[in-house]
Amino acid sequence: MIPEDLLYFEEHEWVRTENTTATIGISDYAQNALGDIVYVDLPKVGDEVSMGDTVGEIESVKSTSELRTPVSGKVLEVNESIVDTPEIINEDPYGSGWLFKVEMTDPTELDELMNAEEYEAYIKEL
């Protein structure tokens, strides 16, 4: 099931917003496609990122995928627990498997993301 309270980026990242803070993770579809995640490279706190930038990577037993940011801003926090235990992303991609938080500089970028219904239609076409 695709959570309806999130927005989705075409590269399969999700965004949960609270005021101007965006929490970012990867979708259940993405973690399932990757398989068992064994390594995560995250951006650094303080990094300035722009929508669509590659900010890290996620490595699984099958492949390595680029991690992109769906919003622009400054990285406020990274989820240190997934660095040590990356399989948390497989177990809970929409909860404790979040990746990083960004203080958004342009909240209007959220208008370019997909809602749950649009994302569900998008992944059915893949």
Whether pLDDT at 8 is above 90: yes
Q: Where are the domains of the chain?
A: 7-118
What predicted TM-score, i.e. pTM, was given to this entire model? 0.97
What is the structure's pLDDT at 1?
85
Pick the CATH number of 7-118 from 3.90.650.10, 2.40.50.100, 3.10.580.10, 1.10.260.40: 2.40.50.100
The closest alpha carbon to 25, from 1, 38, 39, 42, belongs to: 42
Position 32, amino acid: N
pLDDT tens by residue, 69-85: 999 999 999 999 999 99
* C-beta of residue 83 within 8 angstroms of C-beta of residue 58: no
Give the position of tokens 């300035």: 48
What is the structure's pLDDT at 56?
98
Task: Using CB atoms within 10 Å of the CB of residue 69, give its burial: 0 to 12 exposed, 13 to 18 middle, 19+ buried.
Answer: buried
* C-beta of residue 8 within 8 angstroms of C-beta of residue 118: yes
pLDDT tens by residue, 84-119: 999 999 999 999 999 999 999 999 999 999 999 999
pLDDT tens by residue, 30-76: 999 999 999 999 999 999 999 999 999 999 999 999 999 999 999 99
